[in-house]
Structure 1
Amino acid sequence: MASRYDTNKVCCSSHPDAPLIEDYRAGDQICSECGLVVGDSVGGPENPLLGGSDLTTIIGPGRGDASFDSFGVARYQNRRTMNSSDRALINAFKEINAMADRINLPRTIVDRANNLFKQVHDGRNLKGRSNDAIASACLYIACRQEGVPRTFKEICAVSKISKREIGRCFKLILKALETSVELITTGDFMSRFCSNLGLPNVVQRAATHIARKAVELDIVPGRSPISVAAAAIYMASQASEDKRSQKEIGDIAGVADVTIRQSYKLMYPHAANLFPQDFKFATPIENLPQM
């Protein structure tokens, strides 16, 4: 709620002396201390994390005597009044929003990633790591926690940061915040990978069945779900009319050919028990590639 200490000046009820940040797109004025929208809003709902990507670093103009000191100089001036911590948050929120836009992630994930970044930033948990790397890792974690996981390669593709650095930040954030992420399963990626490879539903269903059975039978112990999914896609496609190479699948899944090969080698001897019973083979099991 806005609180008025004189007839002209709008200020935050909890932080009346805090400078306001003006979000000119939404028509809001936002408290730089807590992120509360205190001006008349014509935009969306209040955002407690400084409003995300639409924020500018412009301080709202003063509108009363309280906005000026005894010499007539404005108390709150552009940029110089915005501290470096606020600027870092705003820039990170913009980067998270931009990355999410590139891979069509919903607002709920952006909000979760923003919140994770703010926790890390306020706790000063990852000193020495770039804010862009932390932002990328926060987006990766948010996707996992919201049940729509993306691979490190997919986040890397829309980020300025290497896959290795995102992975390092990911582990550090989980440790620093004492949080966790849902375990990834092979099914989390099947639909997207098969769609990107142009494979028909019959191959996708077979690959899903193969991967699930391989896990249930403990054929692929210690192998990552992504590598098992990729190997299952390779096996199913090679048995169908719509064959895809390990390289094609690896490029989509973000794993190396050798990684797919290692999982496939474990699965190949059990192939007869992995395919769905109603699968129509274009290439018989005995003619599938051997590694």
Structure 2
Amino acid sequence: MATREIYTTTFDEDVQTTTECPDCDGSVRTATGETICEKCGLVLEDTQLDRGPNWNRYDEQTEKRTGAPLTPTRHDRGLSTEIGRYQDGNGNSLSSRKRRQLNRLRREQSRARWQSKAERNLGYGLGEVRRLSSSLGFGESLRDQACVLFRRAHAESLCIGRSLEAVAAASVYAACRCTGLGRSRTEVAARARCDLGRLTNAYNTMNCELELPAQPVSAIDRISKLATELEVSERVRRRALELAQAATEAGITVGRQPSGVAAGCLYLATERCGLCLSQREIATVAGVSPTTLRSRRDELLEI
């Protein structure tokens, strides 16, 4: 007997039926667990399936039903068991015999944690992504996106011939580019366990192979960070953003380094607002030379 012949009816919540109403001979509709008449509104059946969690009286206060949610930051999606050390699930202290038993279980679990070398590399790379994201002060959303990018790179065998630290750093920088966060490669490489060249090589490979939706870096994204590090007023920040917007509309930012344009806008804004900041100080924070800063300033003065 075929499977479709076994179940003559279904119990889905959004099922359309053509049964007539016994009172007014109107059409009957079944939705949200109730069978009602569309003409007179008579409720023929109100048995609703409760698909929610089945809390009992012992769980009304804690409402604990399952473990932690799935997370892309772990190689096993967070499904591994965490064995405690000194207390049980209820907070009671463990005896010395129980602690020795848990130590043996923890040792065996650590030995059987990795099913293969590829899984071990995935776990190490995701740990590096978490460390780098925490060091740069990123939120959970960007950290999870960087872990997803590292998983894709690992699945596409992009880690072969490259260090895991470089691919992890490239995943974090790619997440910044995809979300429009103004963080430079130099800043990410300063916190990573690889040099700038390896990070650039890994990012270029990921951008080409994975077809990342990376957004172009603009000077507007760099001004807020520079203004925060230089501790300028909100007036100077707004003036620098207006200059950067005018430079973008005029097209003078094409082929220019975003940090240099941001530094020129911020320096010109400090001059207009009467704030005394040297060119070298702004150029050092922006990571450019004073000559580049003056060149961008002169181009801004022309418009």
Q: TM-score scaled to structure 1, two decimals?
A: 0.65
Match of 1:117 in 2: 150
Task: Pick the aligned partner of 2:205 from 169, 172, 184.
Answer: 172
The answer (yes or no) to whether the contact 1:237–1:244 under 8 Å persists in 2 is yes
Residue type of the alignment partner of 2:270: S
Runs (5+) with no aligned partner, structure 1: 1-39, 60-74, 271-291
- Change in CA separation of 1:256 and 1:166 when aligned onto 2, cut-off 3 Å: farther
Match of 2:214 in 1: 181
- Amino-acid identity (%): 27
- The whole-number CA distance in structure 1 between the counterparts of 2:177 and 2:288 is 18
Runs (5+) with no aligned partner, structure 2: 1-64, 84-107
Task: Pick the aligned partner of 1:163 from 193, 196, 206.
Answer: 196
Residue type of the alignment partner of 2:286: A
- The whole-number CA distance in structure 1 between the counterparts of 2:224 and 2:190 is 19
Residue 255 of structure 2 is aligned to residue 222 of structure 1: yes
Stretches (4+) displaced over 4 A: 51-59
Match of 2:74 in 1: 50
Residue type of the alignment partner of 1:122: A
What RMSD, in angstroms, separates the aligned Cα atoms of the two structures?
3.2
The answer (yes or no) to whether the contact 2:125–2:164 under 8 Å persists in 1 is yes
- The whole-number CA distance in structure 2 between the counterparts of 1:91 and 1:217 is 47
Match of 1:202 in 2: 235
- Could you say which structure has the greater relative contact order, defined with CA pairs below 8 angstroms and 6 or more residues apart? 1
- After superposition, residues 12-161 of structure 1 pair within 5 angstroms as 42-43=67-68, 45-48=69-72, 50=74, 78=111, 81-161=114-194
Match of 1:233 in 2: 266
Task: Pick the aligned partner of 1:244 from 262, 277, 280.
Answer: 277
- The whole-number CA distance in structure 1 between the counterparts of 2:286 and 2:119 is 37
- Change in CA separation of 1:119 and 1:148 when aligned onto 2, cut-off 3 Å: same
Residue type of the alignment partner of 1:224: Q
Greater gyration radius: 2
SS of residue paired to 2:111:
coil
The answer (yes or no) to whether the contact 1:96–1:114 under 8 Å persists in 2 is yes
The answer (yes or no) to whether the contact 1:53–1:94 under 8 Å persists in 2 is no
Q: CA deviation at 1:188?
A: 1.5
Q: TM-score scaled to structure 2, two decimals?
A: 0.62
Q: How many residues in Structure 1 have an aligned counterpart in Structure 2?
A: 217
